[in-house]
Chain A
Amino acid sequence: MTNYLIRRVIQMIFVILLSAGATFFLFNIAPGGPLSGLQQQQQQLTREDIARIKAQFELDLYLPVRFSRWLIGFPSGPITVGGQELFADIPVGCYLVREEQTTDRNGNTVTRPTGCDDYVYLSEIPELHPAVRSSKGILRGDFGLSTVVRPGRPVLDELLSRLNATLELLVTATLLSLLIGVPIGIYSAVHQYSRFDYFFTTLAFIGSSMPVFFFALLLILVFSVMPVFLQDTMPWIPRLPSGLREAMRGYSIAEWLPRVEAGSLWDRLLHLAMPLMVLTFFNMAGWSRFVRTSMLEVLRQDYVRTARAKGLRENLVIYKHTLRNALIPFVTILVLTIPGIFSGAIITETVFAWPGMGRLYFDALSRSDWPIALAFIFITAVLTVFALLLGDILYTVVDPRIKYK
């Protein structure tokens, strides 16, 4: 087991580093990015202006250097050994690109980089990219500064400020779906082909065929738009707020109910209701199905038949002999909710304007704020890999028959 764990952890580090590298290079090679807006104004800007703006985003440094600075915050300047600066005159980037106008095959004038007029040397890094601006590297827990969404603000602060909202929504949804989904799965399996079973099988089917965003829009239509529409005929129907996490000022959801104060517990709960319904519905549909299938499989095992044959009470057969074995594969699904809880629910949060992680990521992605996007993806990838390992370890805990070599 120890050997297995050591090997797994080494593999894990390898996978994390490679995926970090892949995402970093992908984002940096991709066209667009923070400079995409410049292209239109390129005519009015001088070469020096562009160089200065590029330097602001560290784009004057070479890609591998940038990657290393992003990952571990190295190099942050010349290496000092015994008061002597080493490698100070190694070029690590190019501040002013030498460009040449040529005519290509189709007769169009194109500008091509041909060399470098002003190299950035290692000794210049502290001056050009002072330590305040640069990051200590994501591996040391520093994710750099946001460029577009909240310019100049540390990414970590921005992520932390959104974490609360996401945890509130996702933890509640996960717990609620467990509390509802698992019992439904058990009951459906024990009473297979009953009306109850058919009802929830159908529901699970609809759940897997319905796009999340469509269900979310339907809920808004039913719970916050229709009540307004029906105000004249049926004024007693309460309406739910359709977005955000709390209201700006007090409001009333129906005439016969007391006014809801902004920021109060009721306000929070009312805002939570619809996104919670969406997430719970989809989790519950999937999980109850999963529990049902794995319960059915265990119910067919010989030892369950033996337990029944020796006259054990049905409750004991179900909860002690069947359920405990049926929930073993469920561990894998459950651990994978960990990265999900961090990364939030992109679609649900976007539709309901919920100020969580998923929406922050979507904002960062659509407005090309690469530092936020990279930090988010990196953390999610690390959590996923950890969750998979945790799942494998938990497996041996809940099922002592499994051994890793």
Chain B
Amino acid sequence: MTTSAIAQNARKRIKTDDGFFLPEPSRLEKMLGPEWARVIRGLLTNPLSVTGLVVVILFITVAAAAPVLAPPLNAMADPYQIPRDGFGPTPQEPGTLWERSVPPIPFWYESVTGKTEWVHLFGTTSGQFDIYYGIVWGTRTALLVGILVVFAGLFIGLIVGSISGYYGGVVDDILMRITEIFMAFPFLLAALTLSAILVPLFGRGIWPSVIALVSFGWMGYARVIRGDILATKERDYVLSARTVGARDGTILLRHILPNAIFTTMVLASLDVGAIVLTFAALSFLGVGTDIGYADWGQVISFARSYILSLDTYWYIIVYPGAALILFGLGWNLIGDGLRDVLDPRMKK
């Protein structure tokens, strides 16, 4: 290859003010900044994380299309309440005809299943709650809970961590001791306890568990952002901002946080899967959502009274369990890809 060809292949270079040549930023980098561009490119070039992305996007699609995939009984009904076919105590196997209070049939149903009437695609639990409906709408619950908990935790963690890291001294000491108090309880134990206490206060639903998971889920973020802020606040541009008389709030919000927040954001996004698994565990144990709420853990918890006849009623645990594993797997695959991008030393 001739030198001119190499020059043509290489990315265009731009000259900076002080005479250095830098590669011209790509379109992605211009749009998102160099760090996010690196993350996106890293994720899209790794087959494992692409698989994870596909799985997660699939779940998002199911959640968005829930009213079409599993239409609620009528416009008045609460869509998160699984419709029930009577009240019989015996679970019914997949393919049983739906007899009482049948929801409207969506347009895709006949061509996909070849049937003209609703059947219980994945069977029913005891009490005749439709498992298929529970899984479809449970996707919404899972995504909602995962994202809500992570964002709220991130919010608290950012406030505590950045105040602690920026001001240091006594403030730092006090805030970090408070963080330690929250860390003195094992996560599952603490979340279980708090949501059990909150149930009489908020009534059954997703809120007790969500609040409990947020309350004991922010400490990790606070500690990471604190460390990153400690490193960032010594940078020259922070010093220059201070010399021109910028206020603390401005320095923290405009100059330090945007440059320190990156790792924490990525860490948080990895937690969505783990949070949803814990939420399902809480539902399974029976603290949190009410019986018949569209939530995967809630559906599996029906199996608790049928443990010794699981061979007949396998569909109560297998379908929602598969949804849970797939969901966790998707987020974990993305998380693993992200970790490779963030810590390139670990790659070969």
Q: With the chains together, A300 CA to B347 CA distance in Å?
A: 11
Which of these binds chain B: A30-38, A54-62, A111-119, A124-132?
A30-38
Contacting pair A229 B325 (CB below 8 A): no
Task: Place the interface of chain A in its size category.
Answer: 35 or more
Given A211-B297, A381-B184, 16 more A-B residue pairs with CB atoms under 8 Å apart are: A15-B180, A26-B194, A209-B277, A211-B328, A213-B284, A213-B297, A217-B321, A224-B308, A225-B310, A225-B311, A228-B311, A339-B186, A365-B193, A365-B287, A380-B189, A384-B184
The 7 A-B residue pairs whose C-beta atoms are closest, nearest first, are: A209-B328, A209-B329, A32-B200, A229-B311, A381-B184, A31-B200, A30-B197
Contacting pair B287 A366 (CB below 8 A): yes
Residue interface bits B288-330, CB-to-A below 8 A is 1, else 0 = 0000000001001001100111110010010001001100110
- What's the least CB distance linking A240 to chain B, in Å? 12
Q: With the chains together, A213 CA to B287 CA distance in Å?
A: 14
Contacting pair B300 A385 (CB below 8 A): no
User: Which B residues lie within 8 Å of A373 (CB)?
Assistant: 193
User: Which A residues lie within 8 Å of B311 (CB)?
Assistant: 221, 225-226, 228-229
Among candidates A15, A214, A346, residue contacting B192 with C-beta atoms closer than 8 Å: A346
User: Which A residues lie within 8 Å of B112 (CB)?
Assistant: none
User: Which A residues lie within 8 Å of B177 (CB)?
Assistant: 11, 14-15, 18
Most B C-beta atoms less than 10 A away, residue of A214, A217, A221 = A214
Q: With the chains together, A296 CA to B345 CA distance in Å?
A: 10
CB < 8 Å A-B pair total:
140
B36 within 8 A of A: no
Q: With the chains together, A212 CA to B274 CA distance in Å?
A: 12
- What's the least CB distance linking B110 to chain A, in Å? 33
Among candidates B184, B198, B280, B317, residue contacting A16 with C-beta atoms closer than 8 Å: B184
B261 within 8 A of A: no
Q: With the chains together, A30 CA to B180 CA distance in Å?
A: 23
Contacting pair A346 B185 (CB below 8 A): no
Residue interface bits A296-329, CB-to-B below 8 A is 1, else 0 = 1100100000000000000000000000000000
Contacting pair A225 B328 (CB below 8 A): no
29 contacts between A and B (CB under 8 A): A11-B180, A15-B180, A15-B184, A26-B194, A32-B197, A208-B328, A208-B332, A209-B325, A209-B332, A211-B280, A211-B325, A212-B281, A213-B284, A214-B317, A217-B321, A221-B310, A221-B314, A225-B310, A242-B308, A243-B307, A296-B346, A297-B345, A340-B186, A346-B285, A362-B192, A365-B196, A366-B287, A377-B185, A380-B189
User: Which A residues lie within 8 Å of B321 (CB)?
Assistant: 211, 214, 217-218
A200 within 8 A of B: no
- What's the least CB distance linking B197 to chain A, in Å? 4
User: Which A residues lie within 8 Å of B329 (CB)?
Assistant: 205-206, 209
Among candidates A206, A225, A296, A388, residue contacting B308 with C-beta atoms closer than 8 Å: A225
Residue interface bits A1-42, CB-to-B below 8 A is 1, else 0 = 000000000010011101100110011001110001000000
User: Which B residues lie within 8 Å of A365 (CB)?
Assistant: 192-193, 196, 287
B91 within 8 A of A: no
Q: With the chains together, A89 CA to B208 CA distance in Å?
A: 42
CB proximity to B under 8 Å, residues A316-363:
339-340, 343, 346-347, 350-351, 361-362
Q: With the chains together, A242 CA to B198 CA distance in Å?
A: 32
A68 within 8 A of B: no
B201 within 8 A of A: yes
B348 within 8 A of A: yes
B181 within 8 A of A: yes
| B contact residues vs A (CB 8 Å cutoff) | 177, 180-181, 183-186, 188-189, 192-194, 196-198, 200-201, 273-274, 277, 280-281, 284-287, 297, 300, 303-304, 307-311, 314, 317, 321, 324-325, 328-329, 332-333, 336, 345-346, 348
User: Which A residues lie within 8 Å of B336 (CB)?
Assistant: 205
Q: With the chains together, A238 CA to B201 CA distance in Å?
A: 48
Using CB atoms, name the residue of chain A closest to B307.
A220
Q: With the chains together, A369 CA to B181 CA distance in Å?
A: 23
Q: With the chains together, A361 CA to B345 CA distance in Å?
A: 43
User: Which B residues lie within 8 Å of A347 (CB)?
Assistant: 188, 281, 284-285
Residue interface bits A256-275, CB-to-B below 8 A is 1, else 0 = 00000000000000000000
Contacting pair A214 B300 (CB below 8 A): yes
User: Which B residues lie within 8 Å of A351 (CB)?
Assistant: 304, 307
User: Which B residues lie within 8 Å of A87 (CB)?
Assistant: none
User: Which A residues lie within 8 Å of B314 (CB)?
Assistant: 221
User: Which A residues lie within 8 Å of B193 (CB)?
Assistant: 23, 365, 373, 377
Contacting pair A343 B345 (CB below 8 A): no
Among candidates A14, A217, A229, A350, residue contacting B300 with C-beta atoms closer than 8 Å: A217
User: Which B residues lie within 8 Å of A15 (CB)?
Assistant: 177, 180-181, 184
User: Which B residues lie within 8 Å of A18 (CB)?
Assistant: 177, 181
Using CB atoms, name the residue of chain B closest to A350.
B285
Among candidates A23, A214, A217, A385, residue contacting B307 with C-beta atoms closer than 8 Å: A217
User: Which A residues lie within 8 Å of B325 (CB)?
Assistant: 206, 209-211, 214
User: Which A residues lie within 8 Å of B300 (CB)?
Assistant: 213-214, 217
User: Which B residues lie within 8 Å of A346 (CB)?
Assistant: 188-189, 192, 285
- What's the least CB distance linking B126 to chain A, in Å? 15
Contacting pair B328 A366 (CB below 8 A): no
User: Which B residues lie within 8 Å of A218 (CB)?
Assistant: 317, 321
Using CB atoms, name the residue of chain A closest to B317.
A217
Contacting pair A380 B181 (CB below 8 A): no
- What's the least CB distance linking A241 to chain B, in Å? 11
User: Which A residues lie within 8 Å of B303 (CB)?
Assistant: 217
User: Which B residues lie within 8 Å of A14 (CB)?
Assistant: 177
Q: With the chains together, A11 CA to B193 CA distance in Å?
A: 25
Known contacts A31-B200, A346-B189; A220/B184 CB under 8 A: no
Among candidates B185, B194, B201, B324, residue contacting A19 with C-beta atoms closer than 8 Å: B185
Contacting pair A30 B200 (CB below 8 A): yes
Using CB atoms, name the residue of chain A closest to B180.
A15
Contacting pair B186 A293 (CB below 8 A): no
Q: With the chains together, A211 CA to B328 CA distance in Å?
A: 9
User: Which A residues lie within 8 Å of B284 (CB)?
Assistant: 211, 213, 347
A236 within 8 A of B: no
User: Which A residues lie within 8 Å of B280 (CB)?
Assistant: 211, 213
Most B C-beta atoms less than 10 A away, residue of A27, A205, A297 = A205
A196 within 8 A of B: no
Among candidates A31, A206, A229, A377, residue contacting B189 with C-beta atoms closer than 8 Å: A377
Contacting pair A221 B185 (CB below 8 A): no
A199 within 8 A of B: no
Contacting pair B328 A210 (CB below 8 A): yes
A251 within 8 A of B: no
Contacting pair B346 A297 (CB below 8 A): yes
Contacting pair B286 A366 (CB below 8 A): yes
Q: With the chains together, A109 CA to B328 CA distance in Å?
A: 50
